[in-house]
Structure 1
Amino acid sequence: MTKSKKVTEVKPSQPSTSVEIDSAISLNKTGQIVLKIHAKPGAKKSIVTDIGTQEIGIAIAAPPREGQANEELVETIARILGLKKSEISLDKGTKSRSKILMVESKKLSIDQVRERLINSMD
């Protein structure tokens, strides 16, 4: 009596919901630009510290209390990108250092966003 082994077919994973240039900056299916952020609260100045393949490092000049760092993060990204605060929203990560921001403006392309983030590091 041998048991037959069930052979399962390996199916390719579901297609990604975002068009990725690199995973730190991507475009979701609704056309919004998605920024994956690694926040570093409590810094002296709010600046972009690095742009990696997985996340964008940002030092935030606000303590991580009562949403102050999140507010400062949105203000900093809006200032760097030349947008209104209302065009940037915190999608995930209100109590985490890893955050996802949505850029709801159609004024900028992914390349323009990346360029402005890189230029702000100078």
Structure 2
Amino acid sequence: MFSIQLFFIIALISCVTQKSFTKKKYHFVTVDDYDNLYIHVYVKPGCKKNKITDMDFSSISVDITTKDVGKECNEELIKYLAKVLQIKEDYLSIEKAGNTSSILFKVDNKTDCSRHRAIHNLVYAWELPEKQLSSNYYHSSASSSSS
């Protein structure tokens, strides 16, 4: 009985520690108190393909095919990020648009997209060329991560 209680205490401490780690600044994916995800994106419009071109601690850089930053660019970016994160576009919204090309996106907590899964999918999309980035990977990883 004591070992079970000790196990739950250790599990609770590790969850609290992990939660406070995800709230640190200078990460391109952060989590708030309500488990909403926030993704910091730097947009470069007018490119040939929609793709993630760079990552650092504070943001990810995304090339978008639309010519100007604005409504069309934001819609295209939401479609692309929703595809990469494997979520519906309705759960992804613009929380804050600082200067013309720096955008903070919010992923609603109603999705099953965790911080770990979001980072994994973003890194995967960044590392692979567009030809290899298929929806088959996303469906297989989503089903394996939910089990």
What CA distance in whole angstroms lies between the structure 2 residues aligned with 1:78 and 1:72?
10
More strand by share: 1
More helix by share: 2
Q: Percent identity?
A: 22
Which residue is 1:48 aligned to? 52
What CA distance in whole angstroms lies between the structure 2 residues aligned with 1:81 and 1:34?
12
Aligned residue runs from structure 1 range 69-80, under 5 A: 69-80=73-84
Aligned residue runs from structure 1 range 1-122, under 5 A: 19-20=23-24, 22-64=26-68, 66-93=70-97, 96-104=100-108, 105-121=110-126, 122=128
**CA apart distance, 1:21:** 7.5
**CA apart distance, 1:62:** 0.9
Larger Rg: 1
What CA distance in whole angstroms lies between the structure 1 residues aligned with 2:100 and 2:56?
18
Q: TM-score, normalised by structure 2?
A: 0.66
- Cα 1:56–1:107 shift into 2, 3 Å: same
Structure 1 residue runs without a partner (length 5+): 1-15
Structure 1 stretches of at least 4 aligned residues deviating more than 3 Å after TM superposition = none
Equivalent residues, number: 106
What CA distance in whole angstroms lies between the structure 2 residues aligned with 1:116 and 1:39?
18
**CA apart distance, 1:96:** 1.6
SS in 2 for 1:20: coil
Q: TM-score, normalised by structure 1?
A: 0.78
Contact 2:87 2:113 (8 Å CA) reproduced: no
Deviations 1:27-62 (A, max 9, x none): 012210000000011111111111210111101111
**Higher alpha-carbon deviation: 25-34 or 93-102:** 93-102
CA RMSD of aligned residues (A): 2.0
Contact 1:80 1:116 (8 Å CA) reproduced: yes
- Cα 1:94–1:69 shift into 2, 3 Å: farther
**Higher alpha-carbon deviation: 77-86 or 22-31:** 22-31
